[in-house]
Amino acid sequence: MCVSFSRTRAACFHFIVVADGHRAWVSMLLRRLSAEYEEKWIVGVGHPVQGLAEWQKGWISSWVNWGVHQASGGQGDGIFPARGADETWGEREKKGFRLALLRGDAGAARSQITASLSRALLTSPAHFARMVFRLLLEIEEYAVAAGVDLQPALQLWLQPDRVWRMYSVQSASDYLMSLVNEVLQEVANRVRKVKSSEALAADVRRFLEENYMYDLTLQDVAERYHYNVSYFAEVFRRATGKTFVEYLTEIRMRHAAELLRDESISLASVAELTGFASVSYFSSKFKRCFGVTPSEYRRKLQS
């Protein structure tokens, strides 16, 4: 788990420690630090994580808990226990926010941010701070996928205590939306540079390959590229020899066939991971494409 120690902004340490026995380890280190510097140190213990791939989540929660402990005046033994999982932001909300970014819909993104932050703030200041970081992570992930260098976001990671100075939903929303607008503007600028129908189709194909798992429609993608729907559909068909729906379905079917090789993934999960709202609709599309149902396809792979 991640542990953050801080005396002042200029004296801050982060550790990744084994979860079992972490309280004894933290107590020992606190005694040594206090003896050396003769000051009280503020501690935040993060959520347990598995593997270095999850270190960022642990780091965020350790900072959040550090902030809560600091706000309490450092009362107690200096070990602020990690809180339980944050349930104020479910998969549906996360997916909705991601889809708003993919569609380039700043209004929908702001609505999602405001609603998520409002719910979190009603729970506790710690949940509110955690939500700011979670939204920031989503924005950063989208920026990376879009090839946008989002330098301003780095400042919040370097100075996470700034989150505690965002006292309202409005101030936090304004900050996060400044990042969203920067990314969306950069994406829009790149889209406007795509002039020829071949270049447009190539860019759309890349976009679909990277985002086939989302609920994308012809109108969504046409609006993303600032084209009339009918014109966009015709340009895409001429360049690829397929309609938008046919092309997107082929991508989804290809990935579905790969996922079906893994017996641990349920049919419902395969459907969701490939952008289908229901298993029945996914199954009918799959059978139309491969001539067998997903279950039959999986059984054939096993035989």
Tell me, what's the pLDDT at 10?
Answer: 43
Query: For residue range 33-89, what is the model confidence (pLDDT) as tens digits?
Result: 777 776 667 777 777 777 655 666 677 667 666 766 665 555 555 454 544 445 556
User: Which residue in the block uniquely carries the two structure tokens 């033994």?
Assistant: 77
Q: Are strands 11-16 and 2-8 parallel, antiparallel or unpaired?
A: antiparallel
Neighbours of 10 (CB within 10 A): 6
Alpha helical stretches, state H, 146-241:
151-158, 169-192, 197-211, 218-224, 229-240
Cα of 173 vs its chain's centroid, Å: 16
- Sign of torsion over alpha carbons 26, 29, 35, 39: negative
- Confidence bin at 149 (pLDDT 50/70/90): confident
What gap in Å lies between CA 181 and CA 242, rounded to an integer?
A: 33
Instruction: Say if residue 206's pLDDT is above 70.
Output: yes
Convert 28-37 to b/e letters by CB count within 10 Å (16 or more is b).
ebbeebeeee
Indicate the average pLDDT of the chain.
Answer: 79
Residue with token string 């279950």: 295
How far apart, in whole angstroms, are the C-alpha atoms of residue 69 and residue 35? 21
pLDDT value of residue 239: 85
User: Residue 212 is encoded by which pair of tokens?
Assistant: 């086939």
Greatest mean pLDDT among 75-79, 126-130, 251-255, 274-278 lies in 251-255
Nearest in space to 45 (alpha carbons), one of 16, 6, 75, 81: 81
Return the minimum-mean-pLDDT range out of 109-113, 131-135, 193-197: 193-197
Say if CB 185 and CB 106 are below 8 A apart: no
CB atoms within 10 A of CB 102: 21
pLDDT at 98 over 80: yes
Q: What angle do CA 135, 109, 220 make, to 5 degrees?
A: 125
pLDDT band at 243 (very low <50, low <70, confident <90, very high): very high
pLDDT band at 229 (very low <50, low <70, confident <90, very high): confident
Averaged pLDDT, 13-18: 70
